[in-house]
Structure formats: structure tokens, C-alpha cells
Chain A
Amino acid sequence: MIQDFFINITWLIPVFPFLAFLIIILFTQNNNKLSHSLSIGSMVLSWLVGWGVVFSAIGTPHLGEHPIQKVIPWFETGTSTFGIGFWVDPLMAAALFMVPFVCLMIFIYSVGYMGYGTDEVDPNYARFFGYIALFATGMLGLVISENLLTLFMSWEIMGLCSYLLIGFWFQKNYDDPDKITPRQAGLKAFLVTKVGDLFLMLGIIYLYSQAGTLSYADTLFNHEFLVHLAETPALPIFGGWSAASAIALLIFGGAVGKSAQFPLHIWLPDAMEGPTPVSALIHAATMVSAGVFLVARIFPLLNIVVELELHNPTMGIIAFIGAFTAIFAAIIAIGQNDIKGVLAFSTISQLGYMIAALGIGAYVAATFHLITHAFFKALLFMGSGSVIIGCHHEQDMMELGGLRKKMPKTFWTFVAGGFALSGFPIITAGFWSKDEILAHAWHEFMLEGTASWPFFVWLLLTIAAFLTAFYTARQISLTFLGKPRSHHAEHAHETPATMTTPLIILAFFALTLGFVGIPEEIVGLGNNWFHNFIGHEYAATPLSVTVMLLSSGLALGGLGLGWWVYGRKPLVQGQMDPVEKGMNKIRLGWLYKAMQNRFYFDEIYRATFIDGSVKLADILYDFDYHWVIDPIVNLVARIVRGISEFSNKFDEKVVDALVNITGLSGVKLAELGGITDLKVVDGFVNGVADVTGWIGEKVLRPIQTGKAQNYLLILLISMLAIIGIYLVY
């Protein structure tokens, strides 16, 4: 049947883009048209198969209880066998709905952004399409993975692509030495996420040591094993936790790095140095959500601990980090003037929402927000990219303005995305998903009282929702309303259809996607289909009219206030940001400055970790040169020297006298011998010297080239000769 057909070819989904990557990198780097056709073509295939799988999965009854697993043995080591294969379950289907489609939209958009067919086409255009195809391989591989090992591999492929693509314009340098260059930004992203990856790897190793396998079926979806794991005490450094909590916390460390959660959030804003499609693809829609996807994947590990009523702090830590990141990044976003900088912090903040939701057990709400967020954040990034191209690479919002008439398609789609981000009531996707998170937190805190994580999460996320709406209104007003504030903005033009079409398609989803998850209490609108599909085993979040009204009010209030401050009386050129002015007035100028400087986290890390490493290296250098190793060596040398000086004295006084006597008698004898020598021996010696000189000149000097490679070649030939002789005899 058609369903089985699609599910059986699930493994092909990451294979298409991988082939495209290989062909582009190996053969077609010089042909821009062929390269982007290959890349986009492979993504179309992945998308078609992907959605085929998604709809087959939706049509499969009881998929949640009986996920489909297809696996072939890959390699054996010792007594365990690792498999490679795919895993179809509701979470995977939800992610697979979003990933290939958003990837495809961004691939198409890249054609316009990288300047195909214009004079400004990027010199490495073909390679760009190769890299993003490799990225898609990683993300799709991660989504369909059947075990944590292949998941980790895909995860690292994405890390590599992120590095390559952030540093894509590696030759770029800025006049301002403090401004981070793309090359440095790529390195920073790679190193910071590696810190998280280390924890992820430790978690996977820990799980393997307990289970002897890494496949989902035998670990995460094996209830007996989960119970066993939850009842096993963890390693002593975790105190009295259960092993399940310890493993979950370590794996969560990986998500903190990849999803740019506090305290490893510092790489994501700088990742905006890469081309904008990369920001949209990797640093907003897909790769950063891989961290959330991972935590959703290991949710059974978290859930079992709650189920058995073991009170471990893992969930609390996750909830705290998520909620704190959400509000912290939202505050910083208000102080950013770079159009992509605002979106970068907004992404960090929204990822915080999802992580916090997982931390309070709102598995379905987190997944829902993950999917809707990917659509509207990709849309916003691509809209900002369209603005950047339309305004000749002007990114400072203070220099923009008045683009509403000049770039109407970009404007309206950006508004759709922005409203979805702020949770504009009823008609946007972001409203329904964000509301579900808040409702869940509200519901839990009603049960547990105010001295609980859910209350903390609810409070911070509600404030963050207001801030989100405010900075979105600020961004839209500064960019699109009023009069142009620079000649770049004055001469703005709408971007080509390859860029605006994906915007329009994504805008449609940003507005409507939420309707799949409308709470079932709202009669006539929905039956919360999404919840029933993804999380049938978890109780549905009951509708809370209070929360719904409150979040609607906050969204509208935030948008309204933002418009009132920035849109009602648009800024003129050179005018100070009204918020900055207001905060200066009430002596909070320092706070605004801190917001602009991202609360100085880069500086703090530089002063502690980076300078600390340098200091350590200096100490080791001193240890070697000044303190221990060299002094010891010098001491030994001095002792030896003393001994030799003593020997020298002995030599001069005693031995020399003896030698002189012997010498005198020797001279006499030598005179005798000299006569013979001149005649007979010299003739012979000269003859030998002549022959040796000739050999050296003609034979040996030419092969003594001083080049190591020639010596190696002689070595190789001699080896082969010796082996040949050995084989013959």
C-alpha cells in the first residue's frame, strides 16, 4: 500500500541531499546553475518523500504506542551491535513536517539572496549550495535516527556545517577590531557548542554503559528498562539522583549548547555574520531546534522519574534555564539595533520557551511551539534578509525606515511573521502554541501552588511574552514605518520573486498552522488534533480562559505600546531611541547600555575562560623556562661543566707533561717516516681521494638533495627491493 511504500523509503530522505552535496563538491563547483538545481532538486525529493511519510504516519492508527522501526546492523564491537535505521513516531513526523519544507523554502530563497543571475553573484555560490545540502542531510538524519549514535553523528554534521556557513565569508574583515568577523564567529560557534556536545557525549556513553545499546526501542521506549534506570542510583558525583535523571541532565547539556540556552547562548548572535539564508535555516528554524527536539526525544527519561515520584532536580534545572533564557534574551532584544540581532535574541528567547515547557512536562506544547516557531522565525529571518538585500546590505534599523511602500511584499509577510511571534490572538500560529505552554504552566501551578517551578516558569514566560510583542512592534516600526533615515533606505527596491515567493508561502503557514492544535474546549473550532497525534499518553492541557485572555491582552498591549513608542511618531535621522532616552531620564541608562552589550557575557567569558587559558599557558611556559625544567637542566649542565674544568686542569698539569716527552721522541721517529710517507703512502692516498671525490661529485651529491621527500623515495625503493629479494629467495 502507499503508506507502507512511503514508510519503507524513509531512509532515502537524508540520502538525496547527501548525494547532491557530494556531486556539487566533487564535480559541479564551477557550474552555478547546475549546483543550485541539484541542491533544490534533492530537497524537493526529500520534501515529497518526507510529507509522504508524515501523512502515512498520520494515517497509521496507534502510532504512538507502536512506533515503526526499521534497522539493519551496522557494526559490531565486543558483544554489542550498533544498527543504522529509521524510526517513525509522532514526534518524528511532526519534525519531518517542518524540516524539509522549511529547508526547501530557504534553498529557493538562497538563489535570490546569493545573487544568482546578477553582477553580485557570490564567488562561492556553488559551494554554498553544497554546504546547505550537507546541512539538510544532518538535520534530516537527526530527525529520522533510530538510535542515539546516528543522532549524535548527524548532530556533529550540523555543527560542522554551521561552522562552515557562519564563516562562509571568511575573507571579510572589518575596520573596527572589536567587531567579530565571520571567521571568528564560525570558530566561536563551533567551540561553544562543543562544550555542550561534550556533555551530550558523556550522557550517551553513560546510557550505553547502563543499557549496552543505544537504540530508542531498547532504551527510551522500553518501559522496563526505564524503570530499572530510574531506580539505579547515579554515579556518586550526582548525589542521590537516579541514573535516569543524571543521563537526562547530561544529554540536556548538549541541547543547551545547540539551542543556545543560557549560559552557552553567546554564539548565536554572532552566528548572524553568516549569509542570511543560513541564519534562517540553521540558526532559527532547524539546527537550533535540534536541541529542543533532542530533549523532547529523551522526554521518557524525564517522565519516568516523575511517574515514579522520585524527586530529582533535573526537570527543575531544565525549567529554570529555559524560563530564565526566555526572559533574559527578550530583554536584550529590546536593546539591539541590528535587524538580525533582534531576531537572534528573539530566537534564543523562543527556544527558552520550549525548553521551559519541557521542564514543566508540557511535552506536546513544546513540540507544537517548536514547529510553529520554525515557520514564523524562518519567515522573519528571510524577511530581514530581503530588507538587507533591498537596502544594499544596510542592517542597522536606525538607518532604515519607510520601507512599507517600497517593499510591500516583504512588509506584509514580515508583519505576519512578527504577529505570529508576538502571539497576536486567534489568527496567528504563535498565539496557539505559546498559549498552550502558558496554559500548561498555569494549570500546573494551580495544582502545586506558587512555591513551584511551574509558577516561576509561568511568571517569567508571561512577562517575556509582553516583551516579545514590544520588541517586535519596535522592529516593524523602525524598519518599515516612517521616513527613510539613510540614502540606502531611500533607494530600496523590492527583491526578486525567488525571495518573495518563499516569504508568502511561509507567511501562510505562520498564520494558519496553529489551527491544528486548538484546545478541544473551544467548541466548533478544534478537537486539538495535534495533541491527540503527538501526546495521546499525556493528559491534554485544559483550556484556561484567564491565561488566554491574559496572553491576548499582553500581546496586544506589547504591540500597541511598541507602536505607540516607535510607530506613532516615527524616528527621524539621528534621533535617540526613545526607550534609551526614557531610561536615561530615570537613571537606568546603564541598564540600557548593558542590554545593548548583551549584559557583557562575551566580556565576562573573555576575562574568565579565555584569559584563564592564556594565563595557564603562561604559567606552564614559566614552569618550563624559568621555574623548574630549564633550571634543572642548567644545574646539570653547570655540574658537568665543573667536572670538565677540573679534568682540564688535571690534563694541563699532569698529562701534558707526559705527552710532551712522548712527543719529542715521536718527532724524531716521524721525520724518518715522513720520507717514506711522501713517496709511497701519499701516492696511494691521493689515488683513493681522487676516486672518492669523483664518486661524490658524480653519484652521491645529486641524490643528497636535502629534501625529505627524495630520501623517503629512496627508502621506499630500497624497501621494495628488499621485499622483492625476500620474496624471490
Chain B
Amino acid sequence: MSIPLNWYLVLAAALFSIGIYGVLSRRNAIGILMGIELMLNAVNINLVAFWRFMDPGRLTGQVFALFVFTVAAAEVAVGLALVIAIYRNRDTVVVEEIDLLKE
């Protein structure tokens, strides 16, 4: 009773889509960061699933996923610091009100 590869891929795709939906539709910057996390984890599922089904002899997929974790942690640290900096400057974390790129 082993779960086929397709299921993992569908799960990862669904998670990725939820993540991208969150990134595009949330108004709160922290919500967007959470969406990015979902996308990163969807990638992790893909990595580990492909490793398990294609090349279980070596640890490549898992190690790669570990790297993604590390990068994701760093990204959250930087992202949250940015959110706090923005909040201090502009008193808001609603991204619709942050449109400095226009200028």
C-alpha cells in the first residue's frame, strides 16, 4: 500500500497554487510571506517525492529540501524585518498602500 508519485505531485501543485493565490490576493504583507512559505514547501514536497521515487539511493532530494528550509528561514527573517521597517515608516502593512515602485 504505497502512495503513487502522482498524488504527491498533485498535492504539491495544489499547495503551490494556494500559495500563489495567497501571494497575489492577500492585502497584508505577512499573509504574502505566508503564501511564499507555502510555495517553498510545495517545492520541497516535489523534491522529496521525486527523490523517493526516482533516486532513493542517494540523499540528494532531502539535502536539497534542507537547503530550501534554510533559505526559507533566512527569507522569513529578512521579510519580517522589511515588514517591520515598512510599518515603522508608513504605519501600515497593507500592500495596496505601498506603491513606491510607481515613483
Interface presence of B24 (CB below 8 A):
yes
Determine the chain A residues whose CB is within 8 A of the CB of B23 once the complex forms: 709, 712
Most interface-central of A77, A78, A706, A708 (chain B CB within 10 A): A708
CB distance from B80 to the nearest CB of A (A): 16
CB distance from B26 to the nearest CB of A (A): 8
Within B6-26, the residues touching A (CB, 8 Å) are: 20, 23-25
Determine the chain A residues whose CB is within 8 A of the CB of B95 once the complex forms: 707-709
Selected from B24, B62, B100, B102, the residue in CB contact (under 8 A) with A713 is B24
Determine the chain A residues whose CB is within 8 A of the CB of B32 once the complex forms: 709
Interface size class for chain B?
10 to 19
Selected from A78, A706, A708, A711, the residue in CB contact (under 8 A) with B103 is A706
Selected from A704, A705, A712, the residue in CB contact (under 8 A) with B24 is A712
B96 lies within 8 A of A707 (CB): yes
CA distance A411 to B100 in the complex (A): 65
A77 lies within 8 A of B102 (CB): no
Interface presence of B59 (CB below 8 A):
yes
B99 lies within 8 A of A716 (CB): no
B20 lies within 8 A of A708 (CB): no
Within A70-87, the residues touching B (CB, 8 Å) are: 77-78
Within B31-72, the residues touching A (CB, 8 Å) are: 32, 59, 62
B99 lies within 8 A of A707 (CB): yes
Given contacts A77-B62, A78-B59, A709-B95, are A704 and B102 in contact (CB under 8 A)? yes
A-B contact count (CB 8 A): 30
B59 lies within 8 A of A706 (CB): no
Interface size class for chain A?
10 to 19
Given contacts A712-B23, A713-B24, A716-B24, are A707 and B62 in contact (CB under 8 A)? no
Give the nearest-CB partner of B58 in chain A. Answer: A78
B59 lies within 8 A of A708 (CB): no
Given contacts A713-B24, A716-B20, A716-B24, are A708 and B101 in contact (CB under 8 A)? yes
CA distance A693 to B102 in the complex (A): 18
CA distance A595 to B32 in the complex (A): 49
CA distance A705 to B24 in the complex (A): 14
Determine the chain B residues whose CB is within 8 A of the CB of A705 once the complex forms: 99, 102
CA distance A704 to B99 in the complex (A): 10
A706 lies within 8 A of B24 (CB): no
3 closest residue pairs by CB, A with B: A706-B102, A706-B99, A706-B101
Give me the interface of B with A, judged by CB distance under 8 Å. Answer: 20, 23-25, 32, 59, 62, 95-96, 98-103
Known pairs A706-B102, A707-B96, A711-B101 / 20 extra A-B pairs, C-beta < 8 Å: A77-B59, A77-B62, A704-B102, A705-B99, A705-B102, A706-B99, A706-B100, A706-B101, A707-B95, A707-B98, A707-B101, A708-B95, A708-B98, A709-B23, A709-B24, A709-B32, A709-B95, A712-B23, A716-B20, A716-B24
What are 13 contact pairs spanning A and B, CB under 8 A? A77-B59, A77-B62, A704-B102, A705-B99, A705-B102, A706-B99, A706-B100, A707-B96, A707-B101, A708-B101, A709-B25, A711-B101, A712-B23
